[in-house]
Structure 1
Amino acid sequence: MSAKGQELAMTPWFITLLLCILLVLGLTFQSTTSRASFFIPILSIAYWTVS
């Protein structure tokens, strides 16, 4: 696991914050295009952070 992953593991509040942001964006941007344009980069960052 990278240092970034260990840092994330030590900050569970970051995961909660990320989930809240995803939920708000999902509810706010009902358009599939808008949703994708927000979800894809966020999920990519989350994946990069964990891996």
Structure 2
Amino acid sequence: MDAPNPQPDTTQQDDTDVERLAEITKMSLDSTRTFLDFHSGKRALRRDPE
């Protein structure tokens, strides 16, 4: 289930952190944002219905 607002409000510092991490990990900016959203708890893990 996706969050209702796919682009959460970010600050200037958040954008800088995303760009820096993307450069270090060689991930795309979108992938890096998704990764950080997941690890910060803004995005939940999808579970298969049983």
Query: Which one has more relative contact order, counting CA pairs under 8 Å at least 6 apart?
Result: 1
TM-score exceeds 0.5: no
Q: TM-score scaled to structure 2, two decimals? A: 0.38
Q: Which has the higher helix share?
A: 1
Give the structure-1-normalised TM-score. 0.37
